[in-house]
Chains A and B, each alone.
Chain A
């Protein structure tokens, strides 16, 4: 593998990770993952990742986004985390990745990054919410549904990432 190829592969994997991480902020990260994979396999001539994997990923992505939308649709949705939330998610993500990697190797890095980041933002948002006057609170139920949506979509995104990476490294 030439240094040029290694650089491209690194960017590809980083975008995959960014896709998983962006889900913490209620963004459609699975679509980013699918787009990243399609571009990668197109560039590499569908050798490592064939149409089969692409169809599977597109399906999981559509399912994840639809389920997340349906879960969130019933409660008020708040977009955009606070600045504190972003910082907490970054710290949490790095801590989680470092903590889980020795246990589960590759998958551990992704799972740890996601769970750590999620925990980080969650606590910041949770305490922010507590400090607000009751009238401004998003409400317990909608917070809970949003969280469940994020966790579920994160789960799907992690599955997608692991399938992709194990197809490349075979």
Chain B
């Protein structure tokens, strides 16, 4: 499907410098925000916390429970339905530490008593929960990411060329840093679903980059008369229709999740929204120009004959 008319020619490569400064600014802001906030705001999945299980005798909703609990300032808390709907059981997970364990359940009980009639609920259990993703797993996860990056580098070097691989890695890192940065700026919590979103963004951005690279490689074989700069530019233009269609439809789905998906899925959808926009942008303005920048610093050995 041709979404954009054939033969259209935007000068993407010409805008490379502007894009470079925008990206650099965003990355600096992201890193500064992370430094100011003293690292990412880790949620209960990483830091651990306290879990309170409450049984209600009448049906109620998560938002009804949330509003009285807001007054006692539990910090970052997760309230979710537990088990089957007919049981009317809910879990409240907060990041408060175990030292305040007894006090915490009393506080929750008191707060709920203001909103619900007496005897409408009972606290079934209070316990300390360890982090889902402990320090060990976090460290291993970082290592796995590093290995994955090296793996991508090797694979793309083997299938394309080394400079392509560098471009892809820079684009991926760019997307992840900006998404983490925006999360840090807005002081949003890092939970397991956010990590899933970050990994999804990596996969998505890599896919987008490979599509453009594949076209660049094919064009640089068949069109020998043009310079690399023009080849990269026309390759971006040729894949533009496809890029817009893919990101457009994905954004439609993510947008629907973001606006209509409700509070539960909000942060996940938000991370993807940011990631897919930066991912699409980076494959056009970061990944491909990197090949050119590399070429100007160190021309490829197989110098193309004019």
Contact = CB atoms under 8 A, between A and B. Distances in A.
Interface of A: 45-47, 50-53, 55-56, 59-60, 62-64, 66-67, 70-71, 103-105, 107-108, 111, 115, 141, 144-145, 147-148, 151-152, 155-156, 159-160, 163, 166-167, 170
Contacts of B148: 155
A63 B204 contact: yes
B211 to A, nearest CB: 7
A64 B210 CA distance: 15
B250 A63 contact: yes
A166 B144 contact: no
B227 interface: no
Max count, chain B CB within 10 A of own CB: residue among A104, A105, A155, A160 = A155
19 contacts: A45-B83, A51-B264, A56-B193, A56-B268, A59-B200, A63-B200, A63-B203, A63-B204, A63-B250, A66-B246, A67-B204, A104-B144, A104-B147, A105-B137, A107-B140, A141-B214, A155-B206, A159-B199, A163-B192
B132 A55 contact: no
Interface in B174-194: 192-193
Contacts of B55: none
Interface residues of B, number: 47
A64 B268 CA distance: 17
A46 B80 CA distance: 11
B186 to A, nearest CB: 20
B20 interface: no
A60 B200 contact: yes
Contacts of A163: 192-193, 195-196
A59 B265 CA distance: 11
A118 B141 CA distance: 22
A166 B196 CA distance: 11
A160 B214 CA distance: 27
A70 B159 CA distance: 19
A50 B211 CA distance: 35
Interface in B28-71: 45
B257 interface: yes
